[in-house]
Each structure stands twice: as structure tokens, then as C-alpha cells.
Amino acid sequence: MNQQTTVPDEFREILENIKEIRDNVGNAVAKYRSADDIVKIMAVTKTVPPEKINFAISQGITLLGENRVQEYLSKKDSYDSSAEVHIIGHLQTNKVKYIINDVSMIQSVDSVKLAGEINRLAVKNNRKMDVLLEVNIGEEASKSGINAGGVFDLAQQMLPFENIRIRGLMAIPPIGADEKIFAHMRELYEKLKELKLANVEADVLSMGMSGDYELAVKHGSTLVRIGTKLFGARKYMEG
């Protein structure tokens, strides 16, 4: 059966976009990476209605990235339960309690204070939280994240937090960034692994969005975060 003919018109563009993104990621891996490298595709859900998100989940895009806690709380009960959810937006310490038991990873840890609150609530809820350290690799004043020089200091400062596991790094390179920026992120990621800290099990480099995901794959990304290229352009969308 031709799957295309069974898809409602409102979802057909999403289906075509998924195919294009998968093809592009696959081609980038084939060109620049080892054949067995896996790059996950995350659907960035900011401003997207649950029915479109659930359609993407039904097509195998089962990793969701949430920017805003309040929006996530308003939509989470409508999501297909098979999806895995990560927080990818700036997270305030007073919002951690609302998501501690619902998400599998927090990609935007950029301070000891935030890490401490995540750890405190993880202990309280008897769980271990996977996190990524967010790097402001372009040193842009408008973006959160630690600077490149602070990555290893933060990882070491988090050593006492036994209910946090650092799984790697996340970054939002500047629009139109030179390849050197992406290469620098890869270097930081590899060095983090080499440090062999007790709280680090680095296997995730979350890098690449709608405008640069193929370049990110070239430079070692293991997870690309796609919004606009997946769901189409919409107001206030980042991805």
C-alpha cells in the first residue's frame, strides 16, 4: 500500500519532511562518518499542536525536545506515551520540580546552581537524571550556556551530585557559523570523554538545527534538533 495516499493532507508535508531529513542525515553520515554511526533526530515541539507531534511520533520520530516547561505541561498528556522527552530550553531552578519525573534528559544545564537543584530533586524522587552541559560556543550575549573554557570546571564541580549523569554536551552555534565552531564543539566533547570523570558517561553531542544539521552531522553530532524543517515555519519557532 502506498503510505502517501493514506496520510491526511494536513500531515503530508510532515511526512515528506521526515523523509528528506532522514535522507540528508543518512547522506551526511555516509559521506563524513563511520557507517555504523547513529544520529538521532529530535522533533522540536515549540508551538506545534499535539496532533502534528503525534503524527511525527507515529512515523518513528519518537524523541521530543521541549523548550518551555509551561507549554510542555499544557501538552504532555496529549502526547503518544511512546515518545521520549528532553528539555532543551533554558531551565529555571524553580521549574525543575515540574519536569523531574516526566523527562529523560535535561540538555540545558549551564550552572552549578541548576545542577544542584536537579540533583536534589532527583534524590528526593529516587531517580538518576541524565543531563547535557549547554555550551554557548559562539559566546553570544543573547544565548544561555557556559563558555567553552568553563565546560570542564562545571563537570568537576558537579562531581558531588551522585544523582546526575553527564551524558555529553549541547550547543546552538550562531546562524551561519564557520565550520570551526562545529569542530570546536567536537573537540570539547572528545576531551570531556577523555577526562573519564566519575559522573560522566559521554555519548551525546546535541548539535545541529534546521539550518545547519548536515554540517553538525559532519562534525560529530549524535543528535540533531529539528523544528522548522520538520513541522514548517511558524511564529516564534526556533529549530
- Domains assigned to the chain: 3-231 (3.20.20.10)
Distance CA 141, CA 234 (A): 24
Provide CB contacts within 8 A for 10, sequence distance 6+.
Answer: 52
Per-position pLDDT tens, the chain of length 239: 344 458 888 899 999 999 999 999 999 999 999 989 999 999 999 999 999 999 999 999 999 999 999 999 999 999 999 999 999 999 999 999 999 999 999 999 999 999 999 999 999 999 999 999 999 999 988 899 999 999 999 999 999 999 999 999 999 999 999 999 999 999 999 999 999 999 999 999 999 999 999 999 999 999 999 999 999 986 543 44
**Global pTM?**
0.94
Handedness of CA 14, 19, 20, 21 (dihedral sign): positive
